């Protein structure tokens, strides 16, 4: 008998597994990862990824019934809510998962900031992450317009005026770019093709770099090694276990959003009235709403631009060799101040009366 033949396990299931594994190399996923990689803080990126899978699956179903023209868009959303099989639930899960994904991606960013995981050699992956954050926001923005209700129409008004402000660079945002396809059709293409394609490309790069660098050590262990202590352990669990936990958390998200979709319907406002501006944006855009009041629409370019720009500089400003928050006090305090300011802006934007911004440039 050959050596290969003697290695084949005896039980039927084990034999089947061995046949599949020999071809797909699934057991290769059981490579070592540190035990802390399975803690919630270090699995937030994976949960976000699972959320994107839910968004893709529900989005494909919604696309079977959605009609991206100004005349039919809102009617087709109503059709999804009332007639299409599982339409209302798919729409609800899509809506609630988008909210949760935004929350988990922000928490993921926060974890990386606090644990200094953006430091060498992960600076580029931090920047790729910022690209992913921008794409997430772009997906939520375009999704809002697609509903073609009052809120979506006002969001589109902002989109068009921002395009004007960007001058030649804003040509894509202009309704006049294409005479043959209304802008809602182009925003639909951005929502279902351009942004997902860019996001997939960045995600692949993000994951390849996480695999290449390994998950960062816990700050205390890393700092102890900097001070001459033992190297942090790179083992303790396996990626297969990490993956199972990620799917577990992801299924919890699916259960929660399914439940939410049954209890609280995803909103759809009245048909748009172009003569009024009565909506406030989703919570993730609210920090910039007061800026619009104070400085006008251009603030919607420079305020988020400054924030993303400042975040992009973080790995290059923080030159400390250490990662523990206690040893990076100035940066952590600066981060906390920005966070408190953002929360305060959201609170202020929530209670202030609705203001009119579009058409006041």
Contacts with ligand HEM, residue ranges (CB under 6 A):
42-46, 48-49, 105, 108-109, 112, 117-118, 122, 125-126, 129-130, 132-133, 136, 203, 206, 210, 215-216
The residue (of 208 and 340) whose beta carbon lies closer to ligand HEM is: 208
Q: Least distance in Å: CB of 105 to ligand HEM?
A: 4
Is 290:146 a contact under the CB 8 Å cutoff? no
The residue (of 91 and 242) whose beta carbon lies closer to ligand HEM is: 242
The residue (of 282 and 348) whose beta carbon lies closer to ligand HEM is: 282
Residue 148, CB half-sphere, CA atoms under 13 Å: how many?
A: 20
Q: Least distance in Å: CB of 325 to ligand HEM?
A: 14
The residue (of 43 and 254) whose beta carbon lies closer to ligand HEM is: 43
Neighbours of 201 (CB within 10 A): 13
Is 114:327 a contact under the CB 8 Å cutoff? no
The residue (of 184 and 203) whose beta carbon lies closer to ligand HEM is: 203
Is 135:198 a contact under the CB 8 Å cutoff? yes
Q: Which residues contact 259 (CB under 8 A, 6 or more apart)?
A: none
The residue (of 69 and 320) whose beta carbon lies closer to ligand HEM is: 320
CA atoms of 56 and 343, how far apart (whole Å): 30
Q: Least distance in Å: CB of 226 to ligand HEM?
A: 16
Q: Least distance in Å: CB of 213 to ligand HEM?
A: 6
Residue 9: both structure tokens together: 């396990």
Residue 259, CB half-sphere, CA atoms under 13 Å: how many?
A: 6
Q: ω before 121 within 30° of 0 (cis)?
A: yes
DSSP bridge partners of 32: 238
Residue 181: both structure tokens together: 């396809």
DSSP bridge partners of 33: 237
Q: Least distance in Å: CB of 37 to ligand HEM?
A: 7
Q: Least distance in Å: CB of 216 to ligand HEM?
A: 3
Q: Least distance in Å: CB of 109 to ligand HEM?
A: 4
CA atoms of 72 and 78, how far apart (whole Å): 10
The residue (of 42 and 188) whose beta carbon lies closer to ligand HEM is: 42
């Amino acid at each position: 008998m050959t050596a290969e033949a003697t290695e084949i396990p005896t039980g039927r299931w084990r034999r089947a597994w061995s046949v599949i594994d020999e071809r797909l190399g699934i057991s290769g996923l059981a490579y070592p990862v540190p035990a802390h990689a399975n803690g919630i803080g270090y699995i937030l990126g994976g949960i976000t990824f699972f959320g994107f899978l839910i968004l893709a699956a529900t989005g494909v179903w919604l696309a079977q019934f959605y009609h991206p023209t100004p005349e039919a868009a809102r009617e087709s959303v109503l059709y999804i809510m009332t007639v299409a099989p599982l339409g209302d639930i798919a729409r609800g899960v899509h809506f609630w998962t988008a909210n949760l994904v935004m929350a988990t991606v922000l928490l993921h960013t926060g974890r990386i900031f606090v644990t200094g995981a953006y430091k060498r050699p992960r600076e580029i992956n931090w920047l790729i992450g910022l690209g992913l954050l921008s794409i997430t926001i772009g997906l939520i923005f375009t999704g809002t317009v697609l509903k073609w209700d009052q809120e979506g129409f006002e969001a589109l008004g902002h989109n068009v005026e921002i395009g004007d402000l960007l001058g030649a660079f804003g040509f894509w945002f202009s309704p006049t770019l294409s005479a043959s396809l209304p802008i809602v059709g182009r925003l639909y293409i951005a929502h279902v093709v351009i942004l997902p394609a860019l996001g997939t490309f960045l995600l692949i790069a993000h994951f390849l770099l996480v695999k290449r660098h390994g998950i960062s050590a816990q700050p205390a262990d890393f700092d102890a090694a900097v001070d001459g202590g033992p190297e942090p352990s790179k083992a303790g669990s396996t990626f297969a276990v990490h993956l199972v936990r990620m799917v577990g958390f992801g299924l919890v998200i699916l259960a929660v959003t399914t439940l939410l979709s049954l209890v609280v319907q995803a909103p759809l406002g009245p048909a748009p009235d172009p003569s009024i501006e009565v909506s406030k944006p989703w919570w993730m855009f609210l920090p910039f709403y007061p800026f619009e009041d104070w400085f006008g629409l251009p603030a919607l370019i420079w305020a988020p631009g400054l924030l993303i720009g400042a975040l992009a500089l973080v790995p290059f400003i923080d030159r400390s060799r250490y990662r523990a928050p206690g040893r990076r006090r100035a940066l952590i305090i600066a981060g906390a101040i920005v966070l408190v300011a953002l929360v305060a802006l959201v609170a202020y934007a929530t209670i202030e009366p609705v203001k009119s911004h579009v058409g006041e440039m």
